Amino acid sequence: MQSEPVTDAATPRGHRDGFIPFRDELAADYRAAGYWRGSTLGSLLRDAAGRRPEATALLTDEEPRTYRALDEAADEMAAGFIAQGIAPGDRVVVQLPNRPEFAVVFFGLLRAGAIPVLCLPAHRSAEIGHLAALSEAVGYVIADTFGGFDYRDLARTVRERVPSLEHVFVLGDPSEFTALSEVPRPARELPEADPADIAVLLVSGGTTGLPKLIARTHDDYAYNARASAEVCALGPEDVYLVTLPAAHNFPLACPGILGTIATGGSIAFVDDPSPENAFAAIERHGVTVTAVVPPLAQLWCAATDWEEADLSSLRLLQVGGARLADSNAAEVRPALGAQLQQVFGMAEGLLNYTRLDDPDELVFRTQGRPLSPHDELRIVDENGNEVAAGEEGELLTRGPYTIRGYYRAEAHNERAITADGYYRSGDLVRQLPSGHLIVSGRVKDVINRGGENISCDELEDHLLAHPAVRHAAAVGIPDDSLGERVCAALVPADTALPTLAELKEFLLGRGLATYKLPDRIASLDALPVTAVGKIDKRKLVPMIDQ
């Protein structure tokens, strides 16, 4: 596995070091077309607060928070971060559960000029340590505990590994760290960010090797959110429920939190997406729109048989992150009473949406069409030649909100980006004459477990570290509810293989996120190989009993 070199902390790099900007001539087009408006993500909130200060921004279990209150809280939080020593351009890892404080921390960092590195609550020391080191983060924002896990222990481990990490802010009981609520917030001038500069660093789901960082600029990400809000016809009356982890691109900006703020709607959070909990939130807050992954959509549909909550406010259910089966697509409206929108997106940029006025045929059978008139798509064969219209091929794309390269990943970018700046998605698609795409498979070595992408070679590296494992291959095994499950195909060394429980324990000990753990082990005498000696996964999958 190829990993990018991480510099030692003695020579910290500037935040733009390793950032690949848009090409000047295309950037000029995107500005001329009005996509990039030269304003920052922080100003989305400022503008909304200016227009309707008394409108509700955040719906919580306690008092709702107005736009004025959220805007002020973000300024105060920014002042607090600066007073603590966070400087413009500094990277700060954010790993919070879905709580309203996410919004305050996120906008607070932006307004301090800092760059949030948005990690998922499920990430553990292997991922956080790598991402903090790669970004040379100086700060880390966590909750004390969530889902039975103590993030302060994780902070201790990561700090040992990443010397740049000076500040740890904790939502809740801080232990030896700094309580977010105790950060003094002396009023002060706040820095102005450059709209063409990096606003956030997202974590990639779908690439090979260690997780990559994706730098999104203010200009491109604000466009991403605004244009998505338009496609979903979001307005001030909408109530968006953050059901998926807030740090993920889908609930953050597609249209999610940012798109809702751009259009003056209200936002509610759930940190437990179970039907019981999420349905209660939908009823209580009058939620109109939310985004889920296919297994959750299926579960919610089934749950209407036994849950009694009133879901009549819900007008739009966005489903994406993994392929939704056509049969499940048809169940959404009868079960939940909401219109379905399929979303095929990626943190790297390109978003495809079925439109609100598309016929059922397209909404049920396709994963949508590109968001922007300036999204350029190429569908190519193994040799990089465009396939005939309607044929299957790998999707390559560039456009006004798609990255030109991963952050600080020079070697990887040579493969991930073509010479003329197209991002290779690794997804296999077919395009209909209407422009809609059908996702039919993938060429990248990634398992998509119900919308969570797992890099096979990252997992294989961890499997091979087990003393009883001689050879290892991670493969996806078809699964009715998750789409795929993770199977570790293992060839034993001289001793017996561990049981599944023992293997999971071993991988957790190595600090791997829980969603990447194998669902099963297949023990084999040898792994099939291709002519050049690489593991032949196509031959391997049928060799595993299913």
Q: What minimum distance in Å lies between the beta carbon of 395 and ligand OOB?
A: 8
Q: What minimum distance in Å lies between the beta carbon of 427 and ligand OOB?
A: 5
Q: Please identify, among the stretches 17-25, 40-48, 203-211, 409-417, the one whose residues bind ligand OOB according to the rule CB under 6 A.
A: 203-211
Q: State yes or no: residue 206 binds ligand OOB (CB under 6 A).
A: yes
Please enumerate in sequence order all residues whose Cβ is within 8 A of that of 468, keeping only pairs 6 or more positions apart, or say none. Answer: 492, 493, 495, 496, 497, 498
**Which of 294, 437, 425, 269 minimizes the C-alpha distance to 347?**
425
Determine which residue in the list 329, 439, 469, 482 makes contact with ligand OOB, applying CB under 6 A. 439
C-alpha 507/C-alpha 517 separation (Å) is: 7
C-alpha 62/C-alpha 169 separation (Å) is: 23
Q: Is 422 helix (H, G, I), strand (E, B) or coil?
A: coil
Using H for helix, E for strand and C for coil, what is the string for 280-346?
HHHHHHCCCEEEECHHHHHHHHHHCCCCCCCCCCCCEEEEECCCCCHHHHHHHHHHHCCEEEEEEEE
Residue 12: burial class (beta carbons within 10 Å; 0-12, 13-18, 19+): middle
Q: Please identify, among the stretches 64-72, 83-91, 146-154, 319-327, the one whose residues bind ligand OOB according to the rule CB under 6 A.
A: 319-327
Query: 369: which strand partners?
Result: 353
Q: State yes or no: residue 222 binds ligand OOB (CB under 6 A).
A: no
Report which DSSP code applies to 404: S
Determine which residue in the list 254, 262, 340, 513 makes contact with ligand OOB, applying CB under 6 A. 254
Residue whose CB is nearest to ligand OOB in the complex, by number: 345
x-or-dash string of contact with ligand OOB, 414-433, rule CB under 6 A: -----------x-x------
Q: State yes or no: residue 211 binds ligand OOB (CB under 6 A).
A: no
Q: Say how many Å lie between the first and final Cα of the chain, rounded.
A: 28
Q: Please identify, among the stretches 12-20, 36-44, 128-136, 314-322, the one whose residues bind ligand OOB according to the rule CB under 6 A.
A: 314-322
Cα 184 → chain centroid = 31
Query: 342: which strand partners?
Result: 319
Determine which residue in the list 370, 448, 517, 540 makes contact with ligand OOB, applying CB under 6 A. 448
Q: What minimum distance in Å lies between the beta carbon of 80 and ligand OOB?
A: 31
C-alpha 65/C-alpha 69 separation (Å) is: 6
Chain positions 368 to 397 lying near ligand OOB, rule: CB under 6 A, are none
Which residue lies nearer to ligand OOB by CB, 170 or 329? 329
Q: Please identify, among the stretches 34-42, 191-199, 316-324, 373-381, the one whose residues bind ligand OOB according to the rule CB under 6 A.
A: 316-324
Under 8 Å between Cβ of 198 and 16: yes
Q: State yes or no: residue 250 binds ligand OOB (CB under 6 A).
A: yes
C-alpha 31/C-alpha 402 separation (Å) is: 15
Q: State yes or no: residue 343 binds ligand OOB (CB under 6 A).
A: yes
Q: State yes or no: residue 321 binds ligand OOB (CB under 6 A).
A: yes
Determine which residue in the list 140, 221, 344, 423 makes contact with ligand OOB, applying CB under 6 A. 344
Q: What minimum distance in Å lies between the beta carbon of 319 and ligand OOB?
A: 7
Q: State yes or no: residue 249 binds ligand OOB (CB under 6 A).
A: yes
Give the interface with ligand OOB as residue ranges (CB under 6 A): 204-206, 249-250, 254, 320-323, 342-347, 351, 367, 425, 427, 439, 442, 448, 453
